[in-house]
Amino acid sequence: MKSGQAEIVETSKAIQKSGLMSRRNAILEFILRIVAFFNTITSAILMATTNETLPFFTQFIRFHAEYSDLSALTFFVIANAVVSGYLILSLPLAFVHIVKSKTQNSRVLLIILDVAMLGLLTAGASSAAAIVYLAHKGNNNTNWFSICQQFNSFCERISGSLIGSFVAVFLLILLILLSAIALSRRH
Amino acid sequence: MKNESTIIDVPAESSSAMKGKAPLIGVAKDHTTSGSGGYKRGLSIFDFLLRIAAIIAASVAAGTMFTSDETLPFFTQFLQFEAGYDDLPTYQFFVIAMSIVSGYLLLSLPISVVTIVRPLATAPRLLLLVLDTAALAFNMAAASSAAAISYLAHNGNQNTNWLPICQQFGDFCLKSSGAVVSSFVAVVFFTILVVLSGVALKRH
C-alpha cells in the first residue's frame, strides 16, 4: 500500500513538473513575441524615415534619396509593418496559452500563421538586403552604379534597419519550434 | 479488528485497484489505438510525396539558373555582350542556396520514411519540422533576393539610374525569372510540409 501511494505521488509530481515546463515554454514564447515585435517595428520605422538631400550638385540629376525610390525597400517597410501588427495581435492568444492547459488547436493555428508571417518577413528582408548590397557595391557587368558613394547616411540607415528584421526572422523560427515542442508533449 | 481486516484486504486488491483507478494518470499514455495511427500515416505519405515534388522544384530552379548563360550575336553599346548567372552575386547565392536546399530535401527523405513506418513517434516529426522551417527561411531568402534583382533587371530604376538589362539580354532574363518562379513553388511546398508536420504532431 505504501509503495502504491508512493507511485501515485511520484506520477503526480511528474505531471506537475511537465505542467511547469509547458508554462515556462508559454512564458518564453510570450516574451519572444514581444521582442520580435519591437525588432520589426524598429526596422519599419528606421527604413520609413530615411530621407537624404545632398547639399551640392553631382553628376546625378537627382540629389534626393528616400525609401520609396526603391520598390524593394517599400515592400520591406510594408512587410515589417504587417508582421509587427500580427505579432501584437497574437499576444493575447499567447497569453491565453500561459493560463489555459488544453490549447492544441489554437497552437496549430498559431503555427500556421507564424509560418506565413515568417515567409513574408524573410521575403521583405532578403529582397531589401539584395538591393542594399547592390547599392553598396554596384555591379560592373550590368553598369549599375553604386549609389552609396553619394548618399552616405541614407545607405547607413537602410543597412542598419535590415539587422532588426533578420533578428525577428530568427525569433520567429524559435517561436515555431517552441509551438511544435509544446504541441508534441501535451498529455 | 477493523484495522487488521483492511491491512489484510487492501494489498490483495491494491494492484488491481490501482490498475482500475489509476487510469486518470496511466491511460493518458495509452496512444496505441490504430485510429490515430492510420490518419497520421496518411499524413506522412502525403509528406513524402510533397518532399519529392519539392526536390524537383528546387533542383529545376538551381539548374535553370545555372544554365542561363547568353551571348549576344551582335555588338551593342554595352562593352559586355555576354550574361551569365555569375555576373550577379545575388544569382550566385541563389544557385548555391537552391542546391543546398535540394540536397537537404534528399537527405530528409529517409526521416520521412521513418515517420511513415512509425506514425506515432514524435521525435522524427519534430526534427523534420525544425529542419523544414530553417530550410523554408533559407529558400525564401534566396528566392526573394533573386526576385528583387530580376525585377530590377526587367524594369530598371529611374531614381538611381539603373538601366534594365532585359532589353538586351532577353533569353537570360527569361530563364532567370523562370528559375525564380520555380523556387517560389518550392517555398509553397515547404510551407505545406511544415503545417503538415505541425498538425501531425498533435496528440489526442
A151 lies in some domain: yes
Confidence of residue B157 (pLDDT cuts 50, 70, 90): confident
Confidence of residue B11 (pLDDT cuts 50, 70, 90): low
A100 lies in some domain: yes
A13 lies in some domain: no
Q: Tell me how many domains chain A contains.
A: 1
AA letter at A151? F
Q: What is the pLDDT of residue A9?
A: 67
The answer to whether residues B145 and B151 touch, using CB atoms and an 8 Å cutoff, is no
Is pLDDT of A61 > 70?
no
Q: Indicate the pTM of the whole model.
A: 0.83
Q: Which residue range(s) make up the domain with A113? A: 25-53+66-186
A46 lies in some domain: yes
- Chain B: give the shortest CA distance to residue A28, in Å: 18
Confidence of residue A95 (pLDDT cuts 50, 70, 90): very high
Q: Tell me how many domains chain B contains.
A: 1
A146 lies in some domain: yes
Q: Where would I find the beta strands (DSSP E) of A36-116?
A: 51-53, 64-66
Distances (CA, A) of B174 to A94, A126, B24, B67, B106: 45, 22, 64, 12, 28
Contacts with A122 (C-beta within 8 Å, 6 or more apart), sequence order: A169, B137, B140, B141, B144
Q: State whether residue A53 is helix, strand or coil.
A: strand
Measured CA to CA, the distance from residue B90 to residue B147 in angstroms comes to 10
Q: What is the pLDDT of residue B170?
A: 85
Mean pLDDT, chain A, integer: 87
Q: pLDDT digits over B37-49, tens only?
A: 888 899 999 999 9
Extract long-range pairs of B20-29: CB within 8 Å, 24+ residues apart.
B22/A8, B25/A8, B25/A11, B25/A12, B25/A15, B26/A11, B28/A187, B29/A187
Q: pLDDT digits over A24-49, tens only?
A: 889 999 999 999 999 999 999 999 99
Distances (CA, A) of A48 to A33, A78, A129, A158, B100: 22, 9, 15, 9, 34
- Scanning A111-150 for CB atoms below 8 A from B yields 111-112, 115-116, 118-119, 122-131, 133-135, 137, 139, 141-145, 147
Measured CA to CA, the distance from residue A175 to residue B140 in angstroms comes to 18
Q: pLDDT digits over B80-139, tens only?
A: 678 888 889 999 999 999 999 999 999 999 999 999 999 888 899 999 999 999 999 999
